[in-house]
A and B are shown apart, each in its own frame.
Chain A
Amino acid sequence: MTASSWLLVAFPALGALALFLLGKRAKGWGHLLGTGTVVASFVFGLLLFFAADGKSTVDTKLYSWIPVSSLQVDFGIRIDALSLTFVLLITGVGMLIHFYSIGYMAEDAARHRFFAYLNLFVASMLILVLGNNFITLYLGWEGVGLASYLLIGWYQDRPSAATAAKKAFLMNRVGDVGLALAIFLMFSYVGSTGYAEVFANIDKIPPGAVTAIGLLLLLGACGKSGQFPLQAWLPDAMEGPTPVSALIHAATMVTAGVYLVARSNTIFNASPDARLVVTIIGAITLLIGCVIGCAYDDIKKVLAYSTVSQIGYMMLAVGLGPVGYALGIMHLVAHGFFKAGLFLGAGSVMHAMNDEVDMRKFGGLAKKMPITFVTFGLGYLALIGFPFLSGYFTKDAIIEAAFGEEGWRGWVFGGAAMLGAGLTAFYMTRLVIMTFFGKERWKDIKSSDGRDFHPHESKPVMWIPMAILAVGSVGAGAFFKIGDRFTTWLAPSVGALEKSEHGPLSAGLITTFTLVLIALGVVAAWAFVRRGVPVERPERVSIFVRAARNDLYGNTLNETLVARPGTWLSRALVYVDNRGVDGAVNGLAALLGGGSGRLRRLQTGFVRSYALSMLGGTFLLVVALLLVRFS
């Protein structure tokens, strides 16, 4: 059956193709086709999962893609524990979000096209995780970037959406250059770009080059996964419709960087230096995400920075190497459930609140939207690591592994991860209280388009996916962790999970401290919000809050260092090209033909300058002949 695994990709790819070609003719039923193809892939993925023995890696060649003598790139598919895990996450969560979108996008005149884009995304993402070659991975990698670009810019008559889409694509491309250069390095040392060949020949690459490959792969991962210093696009990506934020910018695409590191574990195992950098990037990002998340009032942006921060945890984990690969992926899958659920919940709130995202205008929604509140609440508890819910198991494992590092590293990385847990509890509690509890602040104001707010519960096609994800948020962690099910399953792909022995603190102590920090975060948020939430954002705030509200000046930095000098350079060169290079040419013509003005009037003087050219040419010809003869 693995021989027909290409069907996984084919279903959504054909769905996208059909929807693109049919266009408006698919208006009435396009969403059903789009959803159906993902359901088909999910079912087929389940069949493959149950048929797999979980130990073997099966590579299937579909056809010869880029054959140029010694370089033979096949379009091939690798089925193993890691790729099957992602297949189920992508198609499972993807399927739920497709269903949800049927309701969420019901009012949109171009819903059929929306589903074409979603199908394109699922197909690309499946190519990304199923390919058995770095170039196939690259195909999926930029394919999801395209889908993300199209979907962030869905409301493309909004300039902010168009700009956000372009920004996402560009920052991703910066990362993609890293990925591309890593592939070039592999080819120049190994002569192949296939996983099997590269990993088998890793010891033939000099250590410095292995580290370079690792760091370049990390650059790619940073772009795709919104990691420092390429994190600034992800919050802006919230311009897209909320189901897109849930699927692409929370559950699946943005975790591709973590997949890349885990998939390339052979490379990272061979370079402790590259791993250390991965860990550092993860630690920095997880703190940046938390800090900024505390300052925003936009519900989607808080969740977006939360995603940045949680992926930071995953990066930190996979950077730890054999003690962390499986833990990073485990947190990734659990996060897929609860973060997708949280975004869908936020979408449900926005749907009820005339597309408002400012939490200052929410309040007291728990009574109006009980199902959304319960599912969102469970996702929230899972995210902050409430005992025995998903995040408790998966995040705790990462914190423990981080403390297990030797010397200063254990303290720094473990400390950062633990501090992050407290901050996460703070900003998420703030979000939940501002949205669902307290005074109904929306009663006295109108939405920006002048309507009153009439919050209401969403339709079943929307809340059923939320409920299913909530079940995952509650149970996934325990299911994965008990009996080490998940790490054992992944062992054939990323190696058996090693235990670190260096830890300065015992596991029990770490869990206790973490829980205390989480409790402190919750209480602090409660105390903070209890003072009341003004509908207008207070502007007289401390320098720290102001910095956090400005994304810790990440955008300002991009603007001053890249965007503005780029514009200046471009303008200056256009001037030089018109005046300088062309001027020199016209000047030369002036020298030969007597004035560049005449060049314009050459219509009349054409024969003369033709003759002049002939003369010049003949002269050169004679010179050349003499040179050849007498040299």
Chain B
Amino acid sequence: MTWLLALILLPLVGAAVVAGMKSNDKLAVATALAVTVVELLLVIPFWASYSPSGARIQQATTMDWIPSFGIHISFGTDGISLVMIAVIALLVPIVVGALGLTDKLPAGRSAGGFLSLIMLQEALTIGVFAATDVFLFYVLFEIMLIPMYFLIGGYGGPNRQYAAVKFFLYSFLGGLIMLASAIGAYALSVDKYGKGTFDWATLVTVVRDAPKGTQIWLFLGFFLAFAIKAPLVPFHTWLPDAAGQAPIGVAVLLVGVLDKVGTFGFLRYCLPMFPEASKALAPLVLVLSVVGILYGSILAAGQTDMKRFIAYVSIAHFGFIALGIFTFNEQAMVGSVSYMLNHSLATGMLIVVVGLVIMRGGSTRISDYGGMAKVTPLLGGMLLIAGLSTLSLPGTNSFISEFLVLLGSFVDHPVYTILATLGMVLAAAYVLWLYQRVMQGPVRGDALFLPAPTGSPTPTSAGSASAVGTATVVDSKALKAIKDLGVREIAILAPMVVLIIGLGFYPKPVLDTVTPSVQQTLSAVQGGK
């Protein structure tokens, strides 16, 4: 059994085991944590056994599924999917460990059910990244929606049903259109060989020679599914609702990893299968990307809800990723792939930190907070670190990817790049403004104070006074007993901080891993071989 199958099966087994632990939440959390940490440890030999200079797809395993249609269950990995698999393996234990710190489960719900869905999600998402059969990819692409649908709809905020259905319908419809295109590609292979196949490597060689008109239609089917997933403006409106209503841990996986299936799809399916169409439609995608960067950034600045804020920030970042992919430049594309990793880390940390803030204040509204760094300086520092990575400060991981995207895109598309570079200023504006409103200034805001007792003048409790220290309290009401970060919370954030700064100064392992796969993708587009 290869490492890859082990990576898919382990969380599946874990999900089944944990699903049975309805009555004992502690045991469920401990089991889920153990399984997902082992999963993360398994990624290390998996990564080590990948040879960047080796074959296009490595670790391949395949078995028949529906032989009459040439459908196989086949998995394999290249540098790009390897990085994405590593990201989800890293984020899931963090999400498991954060349960209870960033989210309370709704009354009457057991941790077992929640964690089981999370692990199921992990297995399916790894499957999506690893699938090398187009039909298998489609099936997993759609099945992957189901645990997420239940995670949002079952455990989310007050408007969760609406958000979950919207999320499901958008992605599902996109997937169906993709299926149509996939079948179209299959039909082409029937034309060529008499017997059709869904094998990715074979389809690539078949479809890339199809006439441009055919390519464009098939491309659009795949592209639409991925543009919804990623999401690109104007297919983005499901994300703020989904991320805004999802529990924090689920939002981490949704924005951090699931959305990357979209940009991953551009790289794995759109570009190599439909090179002519990709080139012909690139200007359109570049426009959408730049619009997305500016539109997402401006909207992020205007948000009043922290979780929706993060959703719009991500929409802007997906604009950068798409820009780097469709500019067909090596540096830019490597930048985009590393952006997929770095955005997961930066935004993942941002969501977790925002979750820690929300758990303390009990509100997602930005205006309910103020001057919190005076009460919780460590939490303030963590929000700043996540924010600085979000605004791509040099020395953090995101700088490497954003700079590479812009540097590479500039070579052939200076005008788009100049507009995109304005996103750097906007990012600084929305991040620092959020930080200022939540953390700086005098301690204020409804979320941080106890409701004033009616009738009598408010007494100042000794406990809250010691928590505030020398804070300037403008409100006469008593401050809630809000604590700074605890040991468990630090343990969850520490790996992300280390990676954010570590990959900012030493990104070479990631860049070296993805560069050959990017080169192969590019040469497929440019018709090199």
Contact = CB atoms under 8 A, between A and B. Distances in A.
B165 A599 contact: yes
A317 to B, nearest CB: 29
Contacts of B364: none
A185 interface: yes
A70 interface: yes
Contacts of A142: 393-395
A25 B196 CA distance: 68
B474 to A, nearest CB: 10
Contact of A582 (B211, B237, B298): B237
Interface in B331-375: 331, 334-335, 371, 373-374
Given A138-B394, A159-B441, A625 B507 contact: no
Given A64-B508, A157-B371, A606-B165, A70 B330 contact: yes
B279 interface: no
A95 B205 CA distance: 65
B22 to A, nearest CB: 23
A185 B414 CA distance: 9
A621 B180 contact: yes
B403 A180 contact: yes
B179 A621 contact: yes
The binding surface of chain B is classed by DSSP as helix
Interface residues of B, number: 80
A599 B166 contact: yes
A456 interface: no
A146 interface: yes
Given A71-B407, A183-B407, A166 B303 contact: no
B162 A599 contact: yes
A627 B214 contact: yes
A230 to B, nearest CB: 12
Contacts of B505: 65, 75
B436 A170 contact: no
A617 B177 contact: yes
Interface stretch (A27-35, A196-204, A399-407, A573-581): A573-581
A627 B219 CA distance: 13
Interface string A149-182: 1000100111101110110011001101100110
Interface stretch (B63-71, B251-259, B270-278, B426-434): B426-434
A177 B422 contact: yes
A135 interface: yes
B213 interface: yes
A628 B302 CA distance: 45
B441 A574 contact: no
A69 interface: yes
Contacts of A497: none
A602 B424 contact: no
B173 interface: yes
Interface in B424-477: 424-425, 428-429, 432-433, 436, 439-443, 470-472
Contact of B443 (A135, A157, A617): A157
Main secondary structure of the interface of A (DSSP, over half): helix
Given A157-B371, A624-B183, A184 B417 contact: yes
Contacts of B176: 613-614, 616-617, 620-621
A157 B433 contact: no
A70 B515 CA distance: 11
Contacts of A602: 161, 165
Given A146-B393, A157-B471, A181 B404 contact: no
A289 B181 CA distance: 64
A56 interface: no
A180 B302 contact: no
Contact of B400 (A66, A161, A165, A585): A66
A277 interface: no
A415 B343 CA distance: 53
Nearest to B315: A577
A624 B302 contact: no
A508 interface: no
Contacts of A153: 440
Contact of A180 (B161, B236, B331, B421): B421
Interface string B181-219: 101100110000000000000000000000101100110
B187 A628 contact: yes
A573 B184 contact: no
Given A68-B515, A157-B371, A162-B441, A174 B425 contact: yes
Contacts of A571: 302
B421 A574 contact: no
Interface in A582-605: 582, 585, 589, 599-600, 602-603
Contacts, number: 200
A169 B393 CA distance: 11
Contacts of B378: 23
What size tier do the contact residues of chain A reach? 35 or more
Contacts of B472: 157
A627 B177 CA distance: 14
Contacts of A64: 508
B299 A573 contact: yes
Contacts of A625: 180, 183-184, 187
Contacts of B422: 177
B519 interface: yes
A163 B436 contact: yes
Nearest to A71: B331
Contacts of B302: 570-571, 573-574
B247 interface: no
Interface in A39-94: 63-71, 75
A131 to B, nearest CB: 11
Contact of B234 (A581, A620, A623): A581
A177 B424 contact: yes
A1 interface: no
Nearest to B437: A162
Contact of B511 (A66, A70, A614): A66
Nearest to B238: A585
B410 interface: yes
B394 A617 contact: no
Contacts of B388: 146
A202 B250 CA distance: 52
B287 to A, nearest CB: 16
Interface in B298-335: 298-299, 301-303, 330-331, 334-335
Given A184-B407, A600-B162, A617-B176, A67 B512 contact: yes
A595 B221 CA distance: 26
A139 interface: yes
A207 B68 CA distance: 64
Given A177-B424, A188-B411, A621-B179, A156 B440 contact: yes
Interface in A1-31: 23
Contacts of B335: 68
Max chain B C-beta neighbours (<10 A), residue from A135, A162, A571, A629: A162
A600 B184 CA distance: 34
Nearest to B338: A68
Nearest to B504: A139
B169 interface: yes
A624 B299 contact: no
Contact of B184 (A161, A173, A581, A628): A628
A23 B218 CA distance: 57
A180 B162 contact: no
B386 interface: no
Interface in B476-529: 505-508, 511-512, 515, 519
19 contacts: A68-B404, A68-B515, A71-B331, A75-B505, A146-B388, A156-B374, A156-B439, A157-B472, A170-B428, A180-B406, A184-B410, A184-B417, A188-B411, A573-B298, A581-B234, A585-B237, A624-B221, A625-B183, A631-B211
Interface of A: 23, 63-71, 75, 109, 135, 138-139, 141-143, 146, 149, 153, 156-159, 161-163, 165-166, 169-170, 173-174, 176-177, 180-181, 183-185, 187-188, 566, 569-571, 573-574, 577, 581-582, 585, 589, 599-600, 602-603, 606, 609, 613-614, 616-617, 620-621, 623-625, 627-629, 631
Which 7 A-B pairs give the minimum distances between C-beta atoms?
A617-B176, A162-B440, A184-B410, A570-B302, A621-B180, A624-B180, A574-B302
